[in-house]
Amino acid sequence: MQTARTDTLLDHDRLRDIATDVGTPTYVYDARALDAGARRWIDAVGDPSRISYAVKANFNLAVLERLAAHGIGFEAATTGEMARVLAAGVTPDRIVLGGVPKTRAAVVEGIRRGLDLIVLQARHEVEAAMEAGAMRAPDDPARVGLRVRPGIQAGAHPSLETGRADAKFGFHPSEVREAWAALSGAGGVEPTALAVHLGSGLDDLAPYAEALEVLVPIAERLAGDAAPVRELDLGGGLGVAYEDAGSDPEPVDLVRLVEDRLGGSGLAARYEPGRSIAARAGTLLTRVLYRRERDGHPALICDAGFTDFGRFALYGAEHRIEPVDGETQGEPTVEVLGPTCESGDKLGTERRLHGVRPDDLLAVRDVGAYGFVMASNYNSRPRPAEVLADGTDWKVVRARESLEDLWRGETAG
């Protein structure tokens, strides 16, 4: 089942007010759209503690706090993300340290903190967990999982495929038993979970079904182990249809597929959605600096570029770009370009934006995931401000960087 996407609730008058007060470029997050993103998952899964929002998608403290109010958990990829979640007031028992490459120190920190789950994905991480287990009380072991590389091509952008046989993540299925046995024989840690993350931006659920055909048999083979597998962590990945005519895959369809397969197995499922919770809630406001005709190709040069929002430059992602002022007009031939020193600095191509003039405001939509979090200071450009809007109220939840912020921590001479 696919349903039409929920449009962000932010109307043009509100966006215009925010741009006037805060300036541009600015990210605006619609708190109610964040709520809707969390609720879609909770309605589908039931128990909110089975959902671990992937903090990497949008890590603003106000966003984390808003999502935490729904009772869901959080997946942190790094100690930095873990620290943010803790700073947002979330207790360690709601945090998963995710299955991406980690330092030994990060694993140790996760074990010390008493997280909900620590997903290990390489031998050195397993060794670090076994050593760190010594600091846990014997009756309170740290729950750990192993990330499996299932060898599945999931249909994501090539940079975002993470479950293929040649991916850098996780254990080959044939390596799991040995690592599991080592962990179950060590004190202070208890292996409970097998994990995968297939890739990001998936619009098809078939790869999840394939992954279950890899994970469930491994779990069955480990059933006689001192520590049986209790849960499967299926990672994130559900896509968002960014282009105009799209519709998003629904969590409920994924959950149904998973429950059908796991029914009666005694295995619980965990999900780590990032994009599908946060993307629709975000809008990037940018002002047009000027227009340029280049060999008959009209272009709008804006004050936001790939340093502020990199998804077109990195993945060719065509997010909707609406004129807040000005009109949608003419043939889809207008390019939307950023101001930096590279020709690849684009926000989108082939847009119907002929009615847009210098100083007009544009809204780049569905940028609540992997937007601000991937912004950089290239060209010494301060990163944008972030605003959280709730109905008619809104507030700045991250100030625009100042010029002094750009050299904080540097020493000259």
Maximum CA extent, the chain: 72
Shortest reach from residue 119's CB to ligand LLP, in Å: 7
* Angle, vertex CA 24, rays to CA 247 and CA 391, nearest 5: 55
Residue type, 184: S
Distance separating alpha carbons of residues 382 and 371, to the nearest angstrom: 15
CA–CA–CA angle 251, 50, 126 (5° rounding): 115
Q: Shortest Cβ contact with ligand LLP: which residue? A: 236
* DSSP single-letter state for residue 111: H
Region of residue 137 (left: phi > 0; alpha: psi -120 to 50; beta: else): beta
Q: Is 99 in the site for ligand LLP (CB under 6 A)?
A: yes
**Residue of 51, 55, 57, 198 interacting with ligand LLP (CB under 6 A):** 57
**Can residue 236 be called a binding residue for ligand LLP (CB under 6 A)?**
yes
**What strands, in cross-sheet order, belong to the sheet with 142-147?**
52-54, 73-76, 95-97, 117-120, 142-147, 189-195, 231-233, 268-270
Q: Which stretch binds ligand LLP (CB under 6 A): 20-28, 212-220, 235-243, 355-363?
A: 235-243
Burial of 389 (0-12, 13-18, 19+ CB in 10 A): buried
Q: How far is the CB of 55 from ligand LLP (least distance, A)?
A: 9
- Do residues 193 and 120 touch, judged by C-beta distance below 8 A? no
Residue number with CB closer to ligand LLP (200 or 307): 200
Q: Which of 137, 245, 341, 403 is catalytic?
A: 341
Question: What is the pattern of x (binds ligand LLP, CB under 6 A) and - over residues 138-177?
Answer: ----------------------x-----------------
CB of 387 to ligand LLP, least distance (A): 21
Stretch that binds ligand LLP, among 54-62, 177-185, 352-360, 394-402 (CB under 6 A): 54-62
Cross-strand pairs, 144: 118, 191
Q: Is 235 in the site for ligand LLP (CB under 6 A)?
A: yes
The residue range among 33-41, 219-227, 234-242, 358-366 that interacts with ligand LLP, by the rule CB under 6 A, is 234-242
Consecutive H or E run containing 179:
helix 176-185
- List, in order, residues 6 or more apart from 40 with CB less than 8 Å away: 250, 251, 252, 276, 277
Among 149, 151, 97, smallest CA distance to 125 is for 97
Of 51, 100, 300, 397, the residue at the interface with ligand LLP (CB under 6 A) is: 100
- Select 315 or 378, whichever has its Cβ closest to ligand LLP: 315
What residues numbered 282-341 form the site for ligand LLP, per CB under 6 A? 311, 315
Helix (H, G, I), strand (E, B), or coil: what is residue 223?
A: coil
102 near ligand LLP, rule: CB under 6 A: no
The yes or no reply on residue 55 touching ligand LLP (CB under 6 A) is no
Q: Is 274 in the site for ligand LLP (CB under 6 A)?
A: yes
- The correct pick among 25, 150, 273, 338 for binding ligand LLP (CB under 6 A) is 273
How many amino acids of this chain bind ligand LLP (CB under 6 A)? 24
Segment near ligand LLP (CB under 6 A); pick from 79-87, 96-104, 300-308, 325-333: 96-104
Q: 298 is written with which tokens?
A: 């009209």
**56, 212, 192, 188: which is closest to 119 by C-alpha?**
192
For 141, the token pair is: 């072991």
Residue of 163, 201, 249, 382 interacting with ligand LLP (CB under 6 A): 201
341: annotated active-site residue: yes
The residue within the footprint of ligand LLP, chosen from 45, 54, 222, 389 (CB under 6 A), is 54
- List the helix and strand counts (H, then E) for the chain: 11, 19
Total Cβ atoms within 10 A of residue 168: 11
Which is closer to ligand LLP, CB of 316 or CB of 391? 316
Cross-strand partners of 71: none
81 lies in the binding site for ligand LLP (CB under 6 A): no
Alpha carbons 52 and 274: distance in angstroms, whole number: 9
238: β partners: 202
Decide if residue 196 touches ligand LLP (CB under 6 A).
Answer: no
What minimum distance in Å lies between the beta carbon of 24 and ligand LLP? 21
Residue 269 in the binding site for ligand LLP (CB under 6 A)? no
Residue 390: CB minimum distance to ligand LLP, A: 23
Residues belonging to the active site: 341
Site for ligand LLP, rule CB under 6 A: 54, 56-57, 75, 98-100, 160, 197, 200-201, 235-238, 272-276, 311, 315, 369-370
